[in-house]
Structure 1
Amino acid sequence: MAGSAELQKAAELYDRLQKLSCPGLEGVYVTEPLNVPELLCTPSAHRLDILEWICTRAYPPLQDLFSTLKESQAELKVKEMAKLGFDLMLCNSEDEDLIKGHVSPSRQLSFMGQLLDIIETCGDVSGDSELQPVTPGFFPGHLMIPDKNFATYARENEELLKELFSSPHFQATLTPECNPWPADLKPLLVPEELQKRTLPCSKDYAISDHIQELQKISLSLEDLKQECLFLCSSVPGEDTAIQRLSLALTDFHQLITAFTQVHENEFQEHCGHSAPQMSPSGPLFQSAHQLLTKCCKELEAIAQFTETSSTIEEVVKKREQTKESWGGGRTATLYEKITELKQQYELFQSSLQD
């Protein structure tokens, strides 16, 4: 039975589907709130039709693919919907149980809700702005700004990829003529000011200095890009070290831009605090720790001594209570033998005195 949170979430999802005029809800009348999770989260052909409609609205090209499939190819539809969820970074590519409805209701409702967020955010996207599933490796999630919608990101990513793959610089990196870098280009990679610069030891050193250095590096990377125009005449070929270096520099530039933005918006107001005061009681704690360690060792020695004394006492008592033969036929304990010898010694002394 679904919990109150899942019932509320299912009801909200049902209302959103009604507002979007989902054809799978036509003629469906829900009489009790408990019927909504059963409709949306219980494995059935009706539920799969609703999810299929949601996926085709989020990614319209799926409609053309599904229209060519037969009813017996339902498994292929499930795989395509799982692949769409993977492209949108909502689930794994092998997560077919989520599509079929064999996982927890909360996870199913969350997956459908995220797809509806994409539909409502993008609206009616057409033309060259059509939503395309993005590859996780090229999705700049760490650079997102909240005032842009999903369609804008998709369009910008598509334009960025087109510019990257059509750029002559990208094609030139496949078969470079300059490998490794010549000596006259090495100073361009790291400015002379950075080579001679040493980190200050002052406590007032601020993060703003690091930001300025990162901005200088970013400008140097742009200058380096202009200096490498001679690579444009190369012919496409196999992947090379220059290609990997170019991609690494691009990623580094994006990280610098992201860090600069985060610092200006989030971290800058927290960078003026003074350093914390260190406690002067450090040596006192160390001395107390050493004394406690010695005390523990002494207590362990006393415990061992007590245990040894108890063992000796037990051995002596056992010796006193055990009867043994003392060179004759009669057996006696150690105490009885000592008493007998004492009496014999006293008789011997008395006979000597007489």
Structure 2
Amino acid sequence: MAGALTEKERVHHLYTTLQRVSCPLVEGLYLQEADSMLQLLCTPSQHRTDILAWICSRINPNFANSKAMSMRSKDPDVLTKDIAALGQELMLCRADDLNLIRGNASLQRQLQFIEQLLPLVPGCIKTSGHRTDGEVLQNELFAAENLPHLMAMLNPTLDPWPAHIKALHKGNKSAYKPQREEAADVAALLQATQSELEQLQSKCEFLNNESSSATIFSPSALRVVACDLQQLMSTFSHVYETDLRAYCSRDAPSFSADADVFQRVHKLLLACNTELEMLKEVSEASASVSEDVKQLQTQPRYWSKGEKRTLPDKLEELTRRIEDLLSQRSS
């Protein structure tokens, strides 16, 4: 079996693919040695992070906006987390696999991650020179030297079928013996079940007493029912003729077309109700004012000079003082 590609061959293919898709971050580098390519793509650096960010922005155009926001953020790991989140959406890594994004993971994981991520870039065409492990395995499996083994698998020497299946396939009559024995067992079970049912039926006497159920539909019972029905119909006919016919034969009442009278009456009643409610509120307000005035007249209050008197007493005092003043002026 042909061996898998070496790390140097894989990284050389990745670098060539980046040049083919016109990645601006590898233009003008002109790397020739595989070690330099490994240092570029698999060593932690800002250049490597920018390459991954460019690949992500080509896969998802909205990632460019996220990258711009990450550059303005104070957290240096924002861009790394965004790349890891996109990798999780593509089912290539976990969201917390930040070491892989930074370049601190193993060389195999980093190469595998970039190999799975780079073909998703629009315009990236897989070349025939680079084949995945599945393609290598498929080519190896269908190689010319392995065709005899495939034919042996299709026509095995040892028949894998079970014994009873082989017997059916070959038409062996002995294979039907277990089925006959099974049918005999089923017949015996059915016979035993039928015997038990017959015993239960003999114990249930009400199932065998057909005369009791037949009396329900006897002619005498039907005659009694018919007589009852006739009496009910006769009673209803008498009530209808004496009391109900006059109401049933009466003409339908005719309604007057002057419906506006009822509308005017309805409006007047509504206005009357409104006025009554207003009068009720006025009465309640008057009663409240009367109560307040009564309290002013009966309950003593504090006036000037700290004296506590009722309103009539205070008015009487004021009247007396005014009279005294007038008498002093007149004298």
With the length of structure 1 as denominator, give the TM-score of the two structures.
Answer: 0.34
Relative contact order higher in (CA < 8 Å, ≥ 6 apart): 1
Larger radius of gyration: 2
With the length of structure 2 as denominator, give the TM-score of the two structures.
Answer: 0.36
Higher helix share: 2
